[in-house]
């Protein structure tokens, strides 16, 4: 299923990530690099966004989600969105682990409700609505590497069907010690800490774990700080479509009235894992002379990291600047009018997002 | 836009039956599925009731014609069992030309197996069998159903607590109306787990006697499990392919109560907004609704808040209403779809199913539920409410198909 549009705009951004991204006036000016196999968010002072009495009870992902949504709304100038839609692979994992852990240790006795309540997957979107007193449409998607894309799909459909003019859409996931331990055993991460500054020049088995929360104000009309036109989206599995990546891309771009050669910059989700980065090579090889950029050495890998990818692409579109440390191929001199964001999660959940200059 | 979205198939698995026919028999016979705990070991055994699906995981595997139980959580098995009925009824087959999507919903996902993984893992993070935890996430059950049915065009999962699968139906209808898909299999699935049982128990909202929705002496909900899926498509498509049409999804609305993370507002703000949105979309007046399948969990808070909202929306002419959670228990993420299927059965049978275990009116309300089966109800439009944590309120209107 391909969604296309000429009149859906990204009018605001808010991003909390392992980079210094919570201030929209600065775009990856001082990239944070380290030698590690897991990245944690650089969290802002939450008191700037949330009152202390509410803050005290909130789980970490809720804080990140609420704060990044606030940054986004302020950036866009929209104070009351017509819809709030989030995507999260695993939701408030820290609270889920806390409740499950206490349940096991205490043998089902002396449990308290707070972590159970917050473990519900729609807690972030609900808390945003509660703090805004927003009675509008409120949805949460929880589908692995398509969680954020599903939220964005719904945002586009709400606008296309005339149900909403402004949609606050975001993707968020948190990394915990427990989930890192499990995914390490599953072989998702580098065994030895890797230098994030040269992750792609040292391919090996596994990637770097990450986390983050990024929001977008998606609107039916441009605003004072419009970043891009959100012109296409597709979630797909090459295996179920029984088709090659370049052919699926051609079909996707065809629906948007474009050809692979029209892509000025491909922002790709390569993560340094030599067992699955070949898919990105297969796709970019079909793009000819497009420049290529990457983001996961900055954010780490997680279910909703494509939200970081779309954030980076939106910043590039507005500023006309491709941060040096994000460049994989090209001079960065080609004027950027069309960006394709291509991501896959564990080789299973693939997505294309297309943005254009307004 | 402007196309009518019709229902060409449905499937249901619940404590009161493994298919629509059995569920209908239980509803007509007044047989509740609420009983003791048999599925897992818990300190609440013998003290708290549950509404369990009577088959073990192994039996569900056989029931679905699957090979091995190894890769399946209970949530995915229940989901497959319901989705395969819906798909068969609508004449779905993989590889057909119609662009088909799957939208599922769940709140616990694969928690039933994570609960087995966790005790050794807590002792030592290198312990615990990984195959018990790889299916933990909510997307897993949907991927399993999509794989079983051979869905290619679009797949996603919604989790908005107890309104989750009502919201699946909404997204499905919106995708069809936008012309993005021709057909959507939409619904939800949830298994009972120690996690949810203990979670709701900490909130002290589980009725030891079995839930008594809208009763003045109600003491909480009863957790149930199950799954249901509906096949949605445009009326044009259904007619073109000569498919039987079982009803119309004529209206729906989602609104947020924005009052409290778990409690509903005393005036039922979000609930009333959702019901009004659903009526408006169907260009219906409150008087057009012939029956409301209420959310009616049996908690003090929900039933009062929902009752006030219903009174506010419908005024003095509140249509007959009942909570079929008194039969199925509260199936959480599956409840919206399960009750949408029950609403369809109501429409087809022109029957209003009773609200079991009701004896005492709520002193705060002037309305009371239907407590005896009504056979000759002549139902045109049925409203189905589903409300969840986070103030997530959804309302659907299902209508009798009139060409």
The CATH number assigned to the domain holding A62 equals 3.40.47.10
* Residue A183 distance to chain B (closest CA, Å): 9
Q: Which residue of B has its CA nearest to A113?
A: B202
- Same domain flag for A204 and A269: no
Query: Mean pLDDT in chain A?
Result: 96
HSE-up (13 A, CA, CB side) for residue A95: 25
* Residue A212 distance to chain B (closest CA, Å): 18
pLDDT value of residue A331:
75
A101/B contact by beta carbon, under 8 A: yes
d(CA B208, CA B204): 10
Residues in B touching A113 (Cβ below 8 Å): 199, 202-203
Torsion angle defined by CA atoms of residues B332, B337, B343 and B345, in that order, rounded to the nearest 10 degrees = -120
Domain that residue A180 falls in: 9-219
CA nearest B210: which of B201, B219, B199? B219
Give residue-wise pLDDT tens across range B35-93: 999 999 999 999 999 999 999 999 999 999 999 888 999 999 999 999 999 999 999 99
CA nearest A293: which of A312, A314, A318, A273? A312
DSSP alpha helix (H) spans, chain A: 52-55, 60-76, 93-105, 113-119, 123-132, 147-160, 177-185, 238-241, 245-255, 278-285, 296-299, 306-319
The 3-state DSSP class for residue A138 equals strand
**Nearest Cβ partner of B254 from A130, A137, A237?**
A137
- Same domain flag for A286 and A201: no
10 Å CB burial of residue A104 (0-12, 13-18, 19+) is middle
The 3-state DSSP class for residue B224 equals strand
Give residue-wise pLDDT tens across range B113-153: 999 999 999 999 999 999 999 999 999 999 999 999 999 99
CA A6 → CA A68, A159, A222, distances in Å? 27, 12, 11
What kind of fold does domain B248-399 have according to CATH? Peroxisomal Thiolase; Chain A, domain 1 (3.40.47)
Instruction: Write down the pTM of the prediction.
Output: 0.98
Contact B133, A182 (CB under 8 A): yes
> Where does chain B hold its CATH 3.40.47.10 domain(s)?
5-240, 248-399
- Same domain flag for A177 and A271: no
- Same domain flag for A313 and A203: no
Give residue-wise pLDDT tens across range B191-225: 999 999 999 999 999 999 999 999 999 999 999 99
| Cross-chain Cβ contact A130/B115 below 8 Å | no
Q: Which residue of A has its CA nearest to B106?
A: A142
* Residue A44 distance to chain B (closest CA, Å): 24
| Domain final residue, candidates A187, A219, A251 | A219
The domain tally of chain A equals 2
Burial track B46-82 (b if 16+ CB lie within 10 A, e otherwise): eebbbbbbebebeebbeebebeebeebbbbbbbbbbb
pLDDT value of residue A332:
66
pLDDT value of residue B317:
95
- Same domain flag for A268 and A128: no
Catalytic residue numbers of B?
Answer: 162, 295, 330
Q: Output Rg (C-alpha) for chain A, integer angstroms.
A: 19
| Cross-chain Cβ contact A235/B198 below 8 Å | no
- Same domain flag for A205 and A239: no
| Cross-chain Cβ contact A139/B160 below 8 Å | yes
Q: Which of residues 48-87 of A touch B (CB under 8 A)?
A: 84
Residues in B touching A100 (Cβ below 8 Å): 111, 114-115, 118, 195
CATH label, B5-240, candidates 3.40.190.10, 3.40.47.10, 3.40.50.2300, 2.40.160.100: 3.40.47.10
- Same domain flag for A152 and A199: yes
d(CA B78, CA B18): 9
- Same domain flag for A249 and A321: yes
Query: Mean pLDDT in chain B?
Result: 97
Q: What are phi and psi of B154, to 5 degrees?
A: -165, 135
* Residue B187 distance to chain A (closest CA, Å): 14
Q: Please report which confidence band the pLDDT of residue B370 belongs to, taking 50, 70 and 90 as the band edges.
A: very high
Asked whether residue B1 carries a pLDDT value surpassing 60, the answer given is no
CA B401 → CA A339, B6, B17, B250, B382, distances in Å? 46, 8, 25, 10, 12
| Cross-chain Cβ contact B1/A122 below 8 Å | no
Enumerate residues 6+ apart whose C-beta is below 8 A from B399.
Answer: B247, B248, B250, B282, B347, B380, B381, B382
A240/B contact by beta carbon, under 8 A: yes
Query: Is A181 within a domain?
Result: yes
- Same domain flag for A150 and A260: no
pLDDT value of residue A334:
80
pLDDT value of residue B216:
98
pLDDT value of residue B2:
59
Chain centroid, CA B374 distance in Å: 22
Complex confidence, ipTM: 0.98
Asked whether residue B3 carries a pLDDT value surpassing 80, the answer given is no
Give residue-wise pLDDT tens across range A292-321: 999 999 999 999 999 999 999 999 999 999
Which residues, given as ranges, of chain A have pLDDT below 70? 332
């Amino acid at each position: 299923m391909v969604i296309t549009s000429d009149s859906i705009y990204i009018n605001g951004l808010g991003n909390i990530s392992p980079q210094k991204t919570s201030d929209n006036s600065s775009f990856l000016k001082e990239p944070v690099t380290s030698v590690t196999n897991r990245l944690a968010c650089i969290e802002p002072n939450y008191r700037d966004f949330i009152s202390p009495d509410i803050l005290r009870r909130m789980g970490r992902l809720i804080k990140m989600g609420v704060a990044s949504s606030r940054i986004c709304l302020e950036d866009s100038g929209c104070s009351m969105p017509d819809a709030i839609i989030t995507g999260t692979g695993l939701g408030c994992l820290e609270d889920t682990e806390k409740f499950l852990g206490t349940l096991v240790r205490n043998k089902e006795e002396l449990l308290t409700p707070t972590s159970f309540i917050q473990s519900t997957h729609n807690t972030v979107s609900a808390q945003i609505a509660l703090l805004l007193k927003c009675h509008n449409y409120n949805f949460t998607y929880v589908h692995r590497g398509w969680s954020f894309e599903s939220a964005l799909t719904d945002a586009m459909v709400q606008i296309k069907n005339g149900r909403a003019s402004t949609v606050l859409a975001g993707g968020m996931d948190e990394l915990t010690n427990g989930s890192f331990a499990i995914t390490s055993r599953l072989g998702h991460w580098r065994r030895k800490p890797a230098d994030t500054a040269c992750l792609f020049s040292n391919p090996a088995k596994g990637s770097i774990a990450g986390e983050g929360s990024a929001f977008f104000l998606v609107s039916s009309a441009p605003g004072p700080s419009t970043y891009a036109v959100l012109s296409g989206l597709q979630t797909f599995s090459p295996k179920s479509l029984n088709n090659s990546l370049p052919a699926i891309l051609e079909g996707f771009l065809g629906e948007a009235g474009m050809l692979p050669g029209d892509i000025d910059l491909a922002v790709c989700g390569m993560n340094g894992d030599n067992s699955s980065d070949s898919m990105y090579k297969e796709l970019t090889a079909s793009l000819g002379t497009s420049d290529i950029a990457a983001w996961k050495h900055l954010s780490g890998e997680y279910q909703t990291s494509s939200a970081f990818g779309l954030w980076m692409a939106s910043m590039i579109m507005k500023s006309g600047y491709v941060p040096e440390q994000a460049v994989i191929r090209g001079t960065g001199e080609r004027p950027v009018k069309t960006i394709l964001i291509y991501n896959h999660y564990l080789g299973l959940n693939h997505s294309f997002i297309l943005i254009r200059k307004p | 836009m402007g196309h009518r979205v019709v229902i060409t198939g449905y499937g249901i698995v619940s404590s009161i039956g493994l298919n629509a026919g059995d569920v209908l028999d239980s509803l007509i016979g007044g047989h509740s599925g609420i009983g003791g705990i048999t599925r897992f070991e818990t300190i609440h055994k013998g003290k708290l009731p549950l509404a369990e699906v009577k088959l073990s995981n192994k039996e569900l595997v056989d029931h679905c014609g699957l090979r091995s139980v190894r890769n399946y959580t209970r949530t995915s098995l229940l989901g497959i069992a319901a989705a395969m009925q819906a798909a068969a009824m609508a004449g779905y087959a993989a590889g057909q030309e119609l662009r088909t999507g799957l939208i599922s919903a769940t709140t616990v996902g694969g928690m039933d197996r994570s609960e087995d993984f966790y005790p050794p893992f807590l002792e030592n993070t290198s312990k615990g069998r990984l195959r018990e935890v790889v299916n933990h996430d909510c997307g897993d059950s949907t991927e399993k159903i999509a794989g079983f049915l051979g869905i290619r065009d679009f797949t996603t999962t919604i989790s908005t607590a107890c309104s989750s699968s009502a919201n699946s139906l909404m997204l499905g209808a919106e995708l069809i109306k936008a012309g993005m898909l021709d057909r959507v299999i939409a619904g939800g699935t949830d298994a009972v787990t120690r996690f949810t049982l203990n979670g709701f128990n900490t909130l002290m909202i589980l009725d030891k006697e079995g839930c008594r929705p809208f009763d003045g002496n109600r003491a909480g909900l009863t957790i149930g499990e199950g799954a249901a899926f509906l096949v949605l498509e445009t009326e044009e498509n259904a007619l073109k392919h000569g498919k039987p049409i079982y009803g119309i999804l004529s209206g729906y609305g989602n609104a947020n109560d924005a009052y409290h993370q778990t409690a509903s507002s005393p005036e039922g703000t979000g609930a009333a907004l959702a019901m009004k949105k659903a009526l408006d979309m169907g260009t219906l007046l409150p008087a057009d609704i012939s029956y409301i399948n209420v959310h009616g969990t049996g908690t003090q808070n929900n039933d009062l808040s929902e009752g006030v909202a219903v009174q506010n929306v419908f005024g003095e002419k509140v249509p007959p209403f009942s909570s079929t959670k008194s039969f199925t228990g509260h199936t959480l993420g599956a409840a919206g779809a399960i009750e949408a299927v029950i609403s369809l059965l109501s429409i087809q049978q022109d029957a209003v199913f009773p609200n079991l275990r009701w004896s005492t009116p709520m002193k705060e309300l002037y309305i009371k539920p239907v407590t005896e089966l009504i056979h000759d109800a002549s139902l045109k439009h049925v409203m189905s409410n589903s409300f969840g944590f986070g103030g997530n309120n959804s309302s659907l209107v299902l209508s009798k198909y009139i060409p």
